[in-house]
Structure 1
């Protein structure tokens, strides 16, 4: 990959489960039809899997369809789910929920490291002739003179903090393709541009998100068995009217994956998901699983929760949206891996038709969206189409709405429920309900045994960024930001960011400004989602930059 133009038949942006499943299915389909086409997949992580993080409990059936010749025991799942229990937590106590909430059972599923699964899928894709290039960040979509997508371009390198070209400047590579597939994951930066340019969200609910913080621990034998699955509701998120809950998954080799996931539609500008996660770990029910153990890894990511009514149009001329970039995640199960894989397979079906017709127009690619509507993706999303919106005004209204949806096949008593962008939910310091999160936990301390501050957690992500580049986090209007986002909202970014990227600096005269430590960024995109008035934009940094997850 140099600064010359690269030509390919298919360009896939993103090496997660949806992009890899698209590549595998298309390669197999082309071979069956005797067609030879170049499939090129590019991922911004320094290796496949290095930016992949998920809970994860995976539904395995779709792998049998994707890789029919691969026995299930060859797929690197961790452990088959052996028990599955939900608990309601108060500040000190817990109550076992005597039944599984609808759609949340995990019988027959597997705990896994999604990064390991993606590395396995990448190997299978390469065996089928797919070219995979990690370590390259695609920063711009390419259009022809008619405004149609013709590929994407990698980021220019050798540029300093101020945008000045250095001696080692290299213009990004243009990758032109007949078909470009956007599989960047949640809030993909190119997918976001594509959706805005072609108004693909028109008539749909705005997408809403959650943020999850996760750790992997090594614990003494006997703390938890492989395949044990626990989910929690209530404390501490419910104390602040925040939608969310925790998970604890037993892994092999005496490891445990655990995390807290909260909806980003909360009002308190000082709510801190990372700190809430650490507080959650101190609960006696959670702490017992970690006693005597040590943390191995930490990470954070956002998830699209809007569901059926927030799905954008999935195609334009010469381009498709798949996986989390399209919002394929089922609530309340909070599962999207199997949906992402299936979306990749269905998109590959449409791509094959396009190659057979030599026609990559909307008229051909619309068969992808049509096949989604006829698939199990539609079934899963449609039956819970109002679930997440029902909780936007609190837990009690949410439970009521969910109850009505269960007896009406997902419709509820009020028809389609609306959403608003998560950034609009944040209230100013004056408006927010008291006590604020930062007031209630102003004396919060981290013992660095069970609980950890953000800086310590970041050390366990393997994150690294080139020092000499334009910061990939952009304050869109510094003057307005200082006057409104800092003075009125108290700079929410310093709280919602789970990697201590944002710091408010106060000088001797009392003037405040935001300092950005972009080198800590975990690429979760929360700032791009949650900042009031869209005050911050997340852009891709240099290729290979970011976290380096191993078993997340």
Structure 2
């Protein structure tokens, strides 16, 4: 049996996205002698990165003032802003673009491509990057995090060692920075174990489903940004669409839905496909072809939902800590900035050889004094204001904008999104219609499996399932009767499927190899029995231009 290796570093960063890479890059600038390692579960840096994306350059300007001169990939500077309210057949443009959605001075980018480039800059600075290594388990001694164990490789479905078995590595670090993105699996473990969310609002999420299209006729269109409200959402649901023109005639199009909806049959992927059939949206994509697909969750709970993001032996940054402005639909600039501030707090801790929570609280102090706090404070109640529907939410938004984020009171409360989902009988008032069977033309609209194919997703199928259903007996008949097995609807990758299991019986089949790592299932399951854990390192989506 292979021995488990141990690697010792000064600082370990878990996650090779913008926040984690920014922390590593800035720390290297502050201290040339400290040993820094970044582990990333994707097969390469950027493979799992997806966003809209319109980037506010404030964060990258501070981190790397010469980023443009160094060749950072930009699709287009924003030249046009449009906000539309849609009905099924018509569109109504807002005469004035609301300030949070004004993007003059921002840039349309592929965050996936940008992160690949940024990873090269980080590696050239002397940071060790290890792609294809998933952080599987925190190393904890007493109340201190002392590193991370990476996942084993070469284990079959039954848990037996295959001929290529390699045990994970124990990476021991003085300080561990968790930058796993939305609903990080290690972050979730940590927050629960040390109750870092005590006295906080529960985090609430949205899921974004996105495609990139090749549309030759759009090559001459400038940096156009379109955001939509209304159809195909109902007034009880939170979300909207986006269309961003990229370079070379490519169009980034997506749809975001709050994971706090009521209807157990709501299918975010299906709503996105429906969105594309609107006459105006159809006209943009006309004569185009689908290039790539992906999905991700977005932490939208705001300032009040952030966990304590410092602890004995480490920090939580970026999306993992909820640093996102949901009113502006932006988090990339906050990822860069919180990475920088984390690096400064870590540098101080290393200099004093003190890695306690009391010392690392310096990170929170830096955040509270920075523009990060100023920005998040102004939108601290935004998503919560929509708990009772679109129109009341717009009233709350208006009040918050004129009261510096306060609205009717300083802190709006909320409940976890999965708890808002109603049972079938309750939602449909006993008049349950037959399940919808949408038709896809495979030219404009696509089924989930076709979209997953275009995500580049690849897993070794002979490995333990990384979607752990803690109580499988709940799936049938209880969940079938109460909610209609909503996992089949909310998953944007056709991972969950109820199949026949003999006469008058069903069983849950998990198509884990389809998983695009969005973690919607871990968030939205009404029973909280789906636990998303990292699969074998290197597996998952292989995103391009997303």
Shorter-chain TM-score above 0.5: yes
Q: Does 1:327 align with 2:322?
A: yes
Where does residue 533 of structure 1 map in the other structure? Answer: 527
Alignment of 1:149-228 (within 5 A): 149-222=145-218, 225-228=221-224
Match of 1:61 among 58, 61, 66: 58
Structure 1 unaligned residues grouped into runs of 5+? none
Bigger drift between 481-490 and 453-462 goes to 481-490
Moved more, 290-299 or 153-162: 153-162
Paired residue for 2:20?
19
1:11-410 → structure 2 map (5 Å cutoff) = 11-31=12-32, 36-71=33-68, 74-144=71-141, 146-222=142-218, 225-238=221-234, 241-410=236-405
Over the aligned positions, Cα root-mean-square deviation in angstroms equals: 1.7
Give the distance between the partners of 1:335 and 1:418, measured in 2 at CA.
22
Gaps of 5+ in 2: none
Match of 2:478 in 1: 484
Deviation of 1:70 (Å)? 3.6
Equivalent residue in structure 1 for 2:541, among 512, 537, 547: 547
Instruction: Tell me the secondary structure at the aligned position of residue 425 of structure 2.
Output: coil
Q: CA deviation at 1:74?
A: 2.5
Q: SS of 2:426's equivalent?
A: coil
* Partner Cα separation in structure 2 for residue 238 and residue 380 of structure 1: 29
* Matches of 1:216 and 1:210, distance apart in 2: 20
TM-score, normalization: structure 2?
Answer: 0.97
2:424 aligned partner: 429
Instruction: Measure how far apart 1:44 and its partner are.
Output: 0.2
Is the 1:224–1:289 contact (alpha carbons within 8 Å) kept by the matching residues of 2?
no
Which segment drifts farther, 406-415 or 199-208? 406-415
- The 8 Å contact of residues 268 and 427 in structure 1, kept in 2 or not, is answered as yes
2:413 pairs with one of 391, 405, 418: 418
Name whichever of 154-163 and 420-429 sits farther off: 154-163
- Deviation string 1:506-552 (CA, Å, 9 cap, x unpaired) is 23411011100000000000000000120211000000000000111
Are the equivalent residues in 1 in contact too, given 2:261–2:420 (CA < 8 A)?
A: yes
CA contact (8 A) 2:219 2:248 kept: no
Q: SS at 1:431's partner residue? A: helix
Aligned residue for 2:517? 523
Question: Aligned partners of 1:21 and 1:148: how far apart in 2?
Answer: 24
User: For residues 389 and 379 of structure 1, what CA distance do their matches in structure 2 show?
Assistant: 19
Q: CA deviation at 1:504?
A: 0.6
Q: 2 CA distance for matches of 1:480 and 1:440?
A: 22
Q: Check the 8 A contact 2:206/2:298 in 1, yes or no.
A: yes
Following the alignment from structure 1 to structure 2, what is the Cα–Cα distance between the partners of residues 372 and 431? Answer: 44
TM-score w.r.t. the length of structure 1 is: 0.96
1:208-233 Cα offsets, whole Å, 9 max, x none, are 00001000000022476131111110
Paired residues, number: 545
| Structure 1 CA distance for aligned equivalents of residues 434 and 500 of structure 2 | 23
- Asked whether 1:448 is paired with 2:449, we answer no
SS of the residue corresponding to residue 309 of structure 1 reads helix
Which position in structure 1 is the counterpart of 2:11?
10
SS at match of 2:346: helix
Residue 221 of structure 1 aligns to a residue whose secondary structure is: helix
Deviation track 1:354-413 (CA, whole Å, cap 9, x = no partner) reads 111111111211010011011111111101111100001111221121122122211111
Q: Distance in 1 between matches of 2:263 and 2:201?
A: 23
Tell whether the 8 Å contact from 1:224 to 1:250 is kept in structure 2 after alignment: no
